[in-house]
């Protein structure tokens, strides 16, 4: 199903359903079927670690990795108020920043700590690998799901700064609001499981949900790099 207005493709029978994927690998297989037309084109999949890499690997296309990390609150490492990309793009959620009352020093410290994490992960995951020229490629940006959409939006901005050609987002699950915000920034979005409601958690789309560690990311990337 597609919409020419929003450029979002979904699987209608999965709308508002939970536990629709066995795990990230199964979710990647579902996405692979949805984007199968790109297999005969000059396309590259770029996964966001850590959770997006097991999904991205199932698309059976050239794979690279886009290191993006959220800037987290000093008192809650799971909640973020911004994000930093491998390319240097930094974006803060100004509405949230103004509400939580962080000082300039706290914000600066948070950004610097996140930048250090991103730089370390770039060295770990990509090493000395040079980015391919993306201007003539279709880039399919993959994560394991989108809640607020802030992290993947920063990845989109960074790829645009690198001169990407056609940019597609493929994610197993997302909220309608986050997809609508993202749809103005990319050429198309593939998301089989769109879920509305008062709350949204990426994990609710999966029967088996676990953290993906850096070692698993490295093992997957070894098959592509």
pLDDT digits (tens, 9 = 90+) for 148-176: 888 999 999 999 999 998 999 999 999 99
Query: Are 57 and 90 part of one and the same domain?
Result: no
Which of 81, 98, 125 is a domain's end point?
Answer: 125
Whole-model pTM: value is 0.92
By the 10 Å C-beta count (0-12 exposed, 13-18 middle, 19+ buried), 216 is classed as middle
Query: Are 88 and 42 part of one and the same domain?
Result: no
- Farthest CA pair distance, the chain: 51
Q: How far is CA 172 from the centre of its chain?
A: 10
DSSP state of 39: G
Q: Is residue 1 part of a domain?
A: no
Cα(48)–Cα(55) distance, rounded to whole angstroms?
Answer: 10
Which CATH number does the domain housing residue 80 bear? Answer: 3.30.1310
Sequence-distant (≥ 6) Cβ neighbours of residue 15 within 8 angstroms: 193, 194, 195
* Mean pLDDT, residues 46-69: 95
Query: Are 74 and 57 part of one and the same domain?
Result: no
Query: Are 14 and 79 part of one and the same domain?
Result: no
Query: Are 110 and 147 part of one and the same domain?
Result: no
Q: Is residue 3 part of a domain?
A: no
- Whole-number pLDDT of residue 4: 44
| 172 dihedral zone (left: phi>0; alpha: psi -120 to 50; beta) | alpha
Which CATH number does the domain housing residue 20 bear? Answer: 3.40.50.2020
Query: Are 115 and 155 part of one and the same domain?
Result: no
Whole-number percent of the chain with pLDDT over 70: 96
Query: Are 84 and 193 part of one and the same domain?
Result: no
Classify the C-alpha dihedral 91-56-62-213 as positive or negative.
positive
DSSP state of 59: T
Looking at the predicted structure, is the pLDDT value of residue 80 above 60? yes
The residue segments making up the domain with residue 84 are 70-125
* Mean pLDDT, residues 3-8: 62
What does 119-140 look like in DSSP terms, one character per residue? Answer: HHHHHHHTTTPPPPP-TTSEEE
Query: Are 120 and 146 part of one and the same domain?
Result: no
* Mean pLDDT, residues 25-46: 93
- Please measure the distance between the N-terminal and C-terminal CA atoms of the chain and give it in whole angstroms: 34
pLDDT band for position 6 (50/70/90)? low
Query: Are 101 and 155 part of one and the same domain?
Result: no
Query: Are 179 and 196 part of one and the same domain?
Result: yes
Query: Are 161 and 215 part of one and the same domain?
Result: yes
Q: Is residue 20 part of a domain?
A: yes
Helix/strand/coil for 91: strand
Q: Is residue 171 part of a domain?
A: yes
Q: How far is CA 122 from the centre of its chain?
A: 16
Provide the token pair at 57.
């690997």
Q: Is residue 14 part of a domain?
A: yes
Q: Residue 221: name the closest of 34, 62, 39, 33 by CA.
A: 62
Domain count for the chain? 2
Q: Is residue 148 part of a domain?
A: yes
Query: Are 193 and 114 part of one and the same domain?
Result: no
Q: Residue 72: name the closest of 83, 58, 88, 61 by CA.
A: 83
Q: How confident is the prediction for the chain on average, in pLDDT? A: 91
Q: Peptide bond before 50: cis, by omega within 30 degrees of 0?
A: yes
């Amino acid at each position: 199903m597609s919409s020419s207005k929003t450029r979002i493709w979904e699987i209608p029978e999965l709308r508002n359903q939970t536990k629709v994927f066995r795990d990230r690998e199964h979710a990647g297989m579902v996405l692979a079927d949805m984007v199968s037309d790109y297999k005969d084109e000059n396309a590259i999949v770029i996964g966001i670690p850590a959770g997006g890499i097991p999904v991205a690997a199932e698309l059976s296309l050239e794979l690279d990795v886009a290191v993006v990390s959220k800037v987290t609150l000093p008192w809650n490492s799971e909640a973020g108020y911004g994000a930093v990309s491998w390319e240097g793009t930094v974006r803060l959620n100004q509405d949230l920043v103004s509400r939580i009352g962080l000082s300039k020093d706290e914000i600066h410290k948070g950004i610097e700590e996140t930048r250090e994490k991103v730089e370390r992960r770039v060295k770990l995951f990509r090493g000395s690998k040079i980015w391919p020229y993306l201007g003539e490629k279709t880039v399919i940006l993959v994560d394991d799901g989108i809640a607020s959409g802030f992290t993947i939006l920063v990845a989109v901005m960074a790829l645009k700064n690198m001169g990407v050609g056609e940019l597609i987002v493929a994610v197993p699950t997302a909220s309608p609001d986050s997809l609508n915000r993202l749809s103005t920034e990319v050429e198309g979005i593939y998301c089989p499981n769109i879920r509305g409601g008062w709350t949204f958690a990426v994990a609710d789309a999966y029967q088996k949900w676990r953290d993906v560690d850096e070692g698993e990311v490295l093992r997957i990337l070894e098959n592509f790099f």
